[in-house]
Amino acid sequence: MQAASNQTDGTVGQPITYEKIPTQIFADSKEASNAVAQEIADLIRRKQKEGKSCVLGLATGSSPKTVYARLIKMHREEGLSFKNVISFNLDEYYQMEPDSIYSYHRFMKEQLFDHVDIPKENYFLPDGTVPPALLRDYCISYENKISAVGGLDFQLLGIGGNGHVGFNEPGSLINARTRLITLDHSTRAAAAMEFGGLHKVPRKAITLGVAPILSARRIVLLAWGERKASVIRGAVEGPVTERNPASYLQAHPDVSFVVDESAASELTRVKTPWAVDSVVWDNKMIKKAVTHLSKSLGKPILKLTDKDYNDNGMSDLLAQYGSGYEININVFNQLQHTITGWPGGKPNADDTNRPERAQPAKKRVLIFSPHPDDDIISMGGTFQRLVDQGHEVHVAYQTSGNIAVADDEALRFIDFVVDFNKGFGIDSPEANKLFLDAKTFLKHTKDSEIDTPEIRQVKGILRRGEAKATCRFVGIPTSQAHFLNMPFYETGTVQKKPIGEEDIKIVENLIEEIKPHQIYAAGDFADPHGTHKVCWDAIEAALERSKHKNFMKDCWVWLYRGAWAEWDIYEIEMAVPMSPDQVLKKRQGIFKHQSQKDGVVFQGDDSREFWQRAEERNSGTAHLYDELGLAEYEAMEAFVRWKF
């Protein structure tokens, strides 16, 4: 954990404080969540000893899930009782039935209340079914209930991509009370994944206002992942503004932001630590500083001067290494050595300065794809290169991806099967009934219902067919496409089960079967509960079990990223360039996933399609290399090596 940083302006005793809110940075969200859960547990126990109630303000969303899981574990294993806890949730969608799979009532019951001994009459959530005419009085009464029990002892918050806390969207005033609010488009887009499409996300919500949030005696805000980095910096280091409602927390006397390293990546002490304090100039820090200097000045690395270093807080680096020229050459060469058109290694070549080994010349390659399209979206050009260069490439599709299929796509698929059977005189009463039941369910499903196992299977079959089409397009036999259907995923909702022994064993057995020289896996860990992160957890556990085996001594693991974000330039260890023709071919491969095209279920807050996002990311990486003074390419896919 790191403390907030200051920088002096040259006057003794007159520090310039970058961080206006105390911010604790943890290595990962699990470690951070455990610390927050421990603080809450300590508060509950202290209040119990005093014979008092502990009044908690609780949040929903992905960020607090691990906090709640830890509290449940403490209840079960350490005897932590919630009998003296009174809780108030921040918000609820409107209109929203409490038993809907999308409701925060249901979320809180599943994530916490049903697993601890909190009395049912002690937890309160905004009612998403209150008639419009009664809403104003209802919101006043909700606040009055909080006041009646003495106010909030502790308020747990998440933060939206636009800075909202609760559902206090940009434009909310610091004195805003509990009310019905119209949700910002970016908020609705971010929730589209949970609802199965933007059109299903409610446009309104009831939220606790900024003023009652600030009245809590203690506030802790959680943020995980690089997607929150920019808004965290604005809230912590920027001005207080209604454009970023989380910045209002700067005025609170006892608030902490608890973030992981990714969410902290835009903070001054993390992004440019040499500008805040002395640093250890190891190789990674030098690469980070030099590439940042080059980008910020708009100068290629080899044109940076001693004056550039001195003028930008890097004089100690210059003093340590003597010359900017030597530093420039060193970093330039390291970046140059990451570029390769031979991701599987170039046969019969000197591999001293190449990111991959030359031997064996023909490698067994295993690409792990969390969903049935991550392989082609995230590393389609590299996938194609590996096949074209003669390697034995296998793809492991870890999950069925069925929840990412829209209902109308499933109906279209069902109609095709029925018409196919009729057209060829295939009479199957069982199949006809199955499809009829499925059509009826999809047309009349309610928000409180999840897809039936049959519907999930239909959607999974659809995505399996698309993945096979991609493999054929790239040029590998479908016998080298492995559909793992990991059990943790098969819940029918965005909320997944934790990985279990069966999930890990499936991955371990496949690695044992193929004995790969190379493994590629998704390295997107922004959401600790997201499918990519859970899939990686299974891979990591399997690798830990297998690392002692002989074949693993010659296995390298490369991490790729998805359509949203790329590795920072100083982190990249292998960059595979792509020509214009290869970019177009990758796009055609992505098009094989028709169910994910033209307004996909999980569009997020980005209106572009997956192929557009991927192309822009890949071209952006190539452009960055070009700006730093290296060779100019149309596009690049980037990788970081994971060592075990």
Question: How many Cα atoms sit within 13 Å of 137 on the Cβ side?
Answer: 5
**Once rounded to an integer, what is the mean pLDDT over residues 196-200?**
79
How much is the mean pLDDT over the chain?
Answer: 92
For residues 355 and 183, give the distance between their C-alpha atoms in angstroms, rounded to a whole number: 47
CATH value at residue 90: 3.40.50.1360
Both 469 and 576 in one domain: the answer is yes
Q: Distance from CA of residue 477 to its chain's centroid?
A: 32
**Once rounded to an integer, what is the mean pLDDT over residues 95-115?**
94
Confidence of residue 605 (pLDDT cuts 50, 70, 90): low
Both 265 and 276 in one domain: the answer is no
pLDDT at residue 448 tops 60? no
pLDDT at 563: 63
For residues 104 and 87, give the distance between their C-alpha atoms in angstroms, rounded to a whole number: 13
Buried b (16+ CB within 10 A) or exposed e, 570-598: bbbbbbbbbeeebbebbbebbbbbebbbe
Q: List strand residue ranges (DSSP E) for 246-345, in order.
A: 255-260
- The 10s digit of each residue's pLDDT in 361-383 is 999 999 999 999 999 999 999 99
pLDDT at 1: 39
Name the pairing type of β-strands 15-17 and 6-8.
antiparallel
Both 282 and 391 in one domain: the answer is no
For residues 511 and 532, give the distance between their C-alpha atoms in angstroms, rounded to a whole number: 18
- The 10s digit of each residue's pLDDT in 254-297 is 999 999 999 999 999 999 999 888 899 999 999 999 999 999 99
Question: Cα separations (Å) of 95 from 126, 202, 204, 392, 642?
Answer: 11, 7, 8, 53, 46
pLDDT at 272: 94
Q: Where does a domain end: 213, 236, 269?
A: 269
pLDDT at 322: 83
Name the pairing type of β-strands 635-642 and 518-522.
unpaired
Number of domains in the chain: 3
pLDDT at residue 306 tops 80? yes
Would you say residue 4 lies in a domain?
Answer: no
**Once rounded to an integer, what is the mean pLDDT over residues 341-367?**
96
Instruction: Verify cis geometry, omega within 30 degrees of 0, for the bond prior to 596.
Output: no
Domain with 306, as residue range(s), is 272-338
**Once rounded to an integer, what is the mean pLDDT over residues 588-600?**
83
Would you say residue 579 lies in a domain?
Answer: yes
pLDDT at 598: 63
CATH value at residue 453: 3.40.50.10320
| Structure token pair of residue 248 | 């209002």
pLDDT at residue 529 tops 70? no
Q: Provide the whole-model pTM.
A: 0.88
Both 250 and 383 in one domain: the answer is no
DSSP string, 412-436: HHHHHHHHHHHHTT---HHHHHHHH
Name the pairing type of β-strands 364-369 and 518-522.
parallel
Both 233 and 286 in one domain: the answer is no
For residues 75 and 440, give the distance between their C-alpha atoms in angstroms, rounded to a whole number: 43
Q: Return the residue matching tokens 């995923």.
A: 489
Number of other residues whose CB lies within 10 A of the CB of residue 22: 13
Would you say residue 566 lies in a domain?
Answer: yes
pLDDT at 454: 84
- The 10s digit of each residue's pLDDT in 50-74 is 999 999 999 999 899 999 999 999 9
pLDDT at residue 4 tops 70? no
For residues 404 and 375, the answer to whether their CB atoms sit within 8 Å is: no
Residue in 273, 277, 235 with CA at minimum distance from that of residue 256: 235
Question: How many Cα atoms sit within 13 Å of 328 on the Cβ side?
Answer: 18
Would you say residue 426 lies in a domain?
Answer: no
Both 316 and 167 in one domain: the answer is no
Both 56 and 192 in one domain: the answer is yes
Instruction: Verify cis geometry, omega within 30 degrees of 0, for the bond prior to 360.
Output: yes
pLDDT at 494: 65
Would you say residue 223 lies in a domain?
Answer: yes
Would you say residue 412 lies in a domain?
Answer: no
Both 41 and 185 in one domain: the answer is yes
Phi and psi dihedrals of 366, rounded to 5? -120, 115
pLDDT at 190: 85
Beta-sheet strand order (sheet of 556-560): 481-483, 392-397, 364-369, 518-522, 556-560, 635-642, 574-578
pLDDT at 13: 40
pLDDT at residue 113 tops 90? yes
For residues 223 and 637, the answer to whether their CB atoms sit within 8 Å is: no
For residues 338 and 125, give the distance between their C-alpha atoms in angstroms, rounded to a whole number: 52
Catalytic annotation, residues: 169
pLDDT at residue 433 tops 60? yes
For residues 232 and 406, give the distance between their C-alpha atoms in angstroms, rounded to a whole number: 33
Q: Where does a domain end: 338, 355, 383?
A: 338
pLDDT at residue 43 tops 80? yes
Number of other residues whose CB lies within 10 A of the CB of residue 57: 24
pLDDT at residue 15 tops 50? no
Stretch (H or E) spanning 87:
strand 85-89
Considering all CA atoms of the chain, what is the largest pairwise distance in Å, rounded to the nearest integer? Answer: 90
Both 251 and 287 in one domain: the answer is no
Stretch (H or E) spanning 325:
helix 324-336
pLDDT at residue 198 tops 90? no
Q: Where does a domain end: 304, 338, 372?
A: 338
One-letter amino acid of 247: S
Would you say residue 11 lies in a domain?
Answer: no
Phi and psi dihedrals of 555, rounded to 5? -115, 125
- The 10s digit of each residue's pLDDT in 380-426 is 999 999 999 999 999 999 999 998 888 888 888 888 888 888 889 88
Helix%, strand%, coil% for the chain, nearest 5: 45, 15, 40
pLDDT at 498: 84
- The 10s digit of each residue's pLDDT in 200-231 is 899 999 999 999 999 999 999 999 988 899 99
Q: Return the residue matching tokens 């009998």.
A: 83
Would you say residue 563 lies in a domain?
Answer: yes
Q: Which residue has the higher pLDDT, 196 or 190?
A: 190
Residue in 176, 174, 178 with CA at minimum distance from that of residue 251: 174
- The 10s digit of each residue's pLDDT in 540-576 is 999 999 999 999 999 999 999 976 778 999 999 999 9
- The 10s digit of each residue's pLDDT in 139-173 is 999 999 999 999 999 999 999 999 999 999 999 99
pLDDT at 447: 61
Confidence of residue 607 (pLDDT cuts 50, 70, 90): low
DSSP string, 129-183: T--GGGHHHHHHHHHHHHHHTT--SEEEE---TT--BTTB-TT--TT--SEEEEP
DSSP string, 16-44: EES-SS-EEEESSHHHHHHHHHHHHHHHH
Both 399 and 297 in one domain: the answer is no
Residue in 261, 330, 246 with CA at minimum distance from that of residue 20: 246
pLDDT at residue 125 tops 90? yes
Both 288 and 394 in one domain: the answer is no
Q: Distance from CA of residue 45 to its chain's centroid?
A: 33
Q: Name the DSSP class of 288.
A: H
pLDDT at 441: 82
Both 257 and 301 in one domain: the answer is no
pLDDT at 8: 39
